[in-house]
Amino acid sequence: MTDSAEMETGSDVLRSKRDATRYQILVQIAERQPAVSQREIADAIGITSQAVSNYLQELVEQSFVDKHGRGRYEVTKEGVDWLINRTDTLRAYVEHVSEDVIGRVDVESALATGDITEGDRVSLSMRDGYLQATPGDAGAATAVAITDASEGQEVGITDFEGVVDYELGTVSVVSVPTVRNGGSTRVQSDQLVALAAETDLVAVAGTEAVAAATAAGLDPDIRFATAEAVKEAATKGLEVLLLAVSGRLSAHTDALRDSSLEYEVVDATT
């Protein structure tokens, strides 16, 4: 079953009073079997004992429940399967609501550029790869603070209006030869230093790339999971210098290309 079909079924369970009641009764039987009190079930789910009796008769006819005498019931394999199916689809529906619906209006966090009081309207901007909240509503994008914050602290924000205006970063890519092809010794350190001076972050992928950075006196900001990290940094508007051993280069450029991020491959080898 697809995710959308599961969510639809989960929603149907909530919309159908009959299915919702059957679900609750089966759960109550499973918890209490084999001795089942119709009055206790009725009190637990808020319906009459007669309604419970009618549902039980229907569930027995559908082979979801076996009756073993007066007041003795047991959920069958078919009933358990039905419960599991509905539980899984309800779980998928709840996750959809939590992540895709509520998440759209959820609270974000930003770094305060000044003192902010809960309830203040703030202006939003992107700086150094982080969302910044400035007191006042003069910016193109604004939000409402839901926490107090001093300058440099995180502040919770919601009720967003407008769009944060910032440019995507670009990536300068240097392909470092493998050790069999000369490795870091073929990379011009002075060129790496010049490139690093024009970027916000330095990333390295592969042993030869680390060695090239070390030879140039650079302290890399990103050493692991570089394909994802470089993409994320550029998405946040940062300029990145990426040193990648030749065998790992395509994985990084493919990630940048798939995200429509600009990059330039720079030849820094001798």
CB-based burial label for 242 (10 Å; 0-12, 13-18, 19+) = buried
For the beta carbon of residue 171, count every other beta carbon within 10 angstroms. Answer: 25
Average pLDDT over residues 27-35: 90
Indicate if the pLDDT at residue 145 is higher than 90.
yes
Tokens 């280069």, residue located:
249
**pLDDT bracket for residue 186 (50, 70, 90):** very high
What is the predicted pLDDT for the residue at 2? 40
- The answer for residues whose C-beta is within 8 angstroms of residue 201's C-beta and 6 or more apart is 221, 222, 233, 238, 239, 240, 241
pLDDT tens sequence across 37-93: 899 999 989 999 999 999 999 999 999 999 988 888 999 999 999 988 888 878 877
pLDDT tens sequence across 83-140: 888 888 788 777 766 666 555 556 889 999 999 999 999 999 999 999 999 999 998 8
In CATH, what class is 170-266?
A: alpha beta
- The answer for residues whose C-beta is within 8 angstroms of residue 119's C-beta and 6 or more apart is 144, 145
Tokens 């040193």, residue located:
243
In this prediction the pTM is 0.57
CATH number for the region 3-103 comes to 1.10.10.10
Domain ranges for the chain, please list them: 3-103, 108-161, 170-266
Is 154 within 8 Å of 112 (Cβ atoms)?
Answer: yes
* Best mean pLDDT range from 9-18, 101-110, 185-194: 185-194
H-helix segments, 122-269: 189-197, 207-215, 226-235, 249-258
What is the predicted pLDDT for the residue at 104? 53
Indicate if the pLDDT at residue 35 is higher than 80.
yes
Indicate if the pLDDT at residue 221 is higher than 60.
yes
Tokens 């419970």, residue located:
52
What is the predicted pLDDT for the residue at 97? 64
Is 142 within 8 Å of 124 (Cβ atoms)?
Answer: yes
What is the predicted pLDDT for the residue at 93? 74
CB-based burial label for 128 (10 Å; 0-12, 13-18, 19+) = exposed
What is the predicted pLDDT for the residue at 1? 41
Distance CA 88, CA 80 (A): 12
- The answer for residues whose C-beta is within 8 angstroms of residue 51's C-beta and 6 or more apart is 21, 42
Higher pLDDT: 17 or 189? It is 189
Written as six digits, the tokens of 53 are 């009796």
Distance CA 234, CA 116 (A): 29
What is the predicted pLDDT for the residue at 266? 95
**Max alpha carbon distance in the chain (Å)?**
91
Percentage, residues of the chain above pLDDT 70: 90
Cα–Cα distances (Å) from 223 to 4, 120, 142, 219, 253, in that order, read 38, 39, 35, 10, 16
